[in-house]
Structure 1
Amino acid sequence: MITRAKNMLELECPGVVSCSDILATATRDLVVVVGGPFYELDFGRKDSVESKAIDAENKYPLPTMTMSQ
């Protein structure tokens, strides 16, 4: 399913939307469908020379969070 979505998006806007963008959007939308909160996402490739887990933990919901959080 992700590959199909990626292929369709590539026809409309080549090189813009990543598979990670698709997964993040699908996950966020599912959270909303089951009654969870809507949260904004930053899209697009953002390469970096360093990666910090704390940055992700401060920006996105943690797997241990409840729906009310």
Structure 2
Amino acid sequence: MSSEDRAKKLTTLTADKLAVEREEEHWISDLISSGMNLERRTDADARAVLGVQSDVSPDDDNH
């Protein structure tokens, strides 16, 4: 796999992972709202938990 193809694949996988985490957060929020006592994963993407849109990767070291 070329480095360009690898980069594209990584971008796709990262976006897919964020989409799944956003859905997970939706379900967690619904369950908490209904009175269930749940804790979020400590490694959950903050963009999913906070419901924000961002092009910045959580692994981006350019803060």
TM category, shorter: 0.3 to 0.5
Q: Which has the larger radius of gyration?
A: 2
TM-score (norm 2): 0.38
Return the structure number with greater helix share: 2
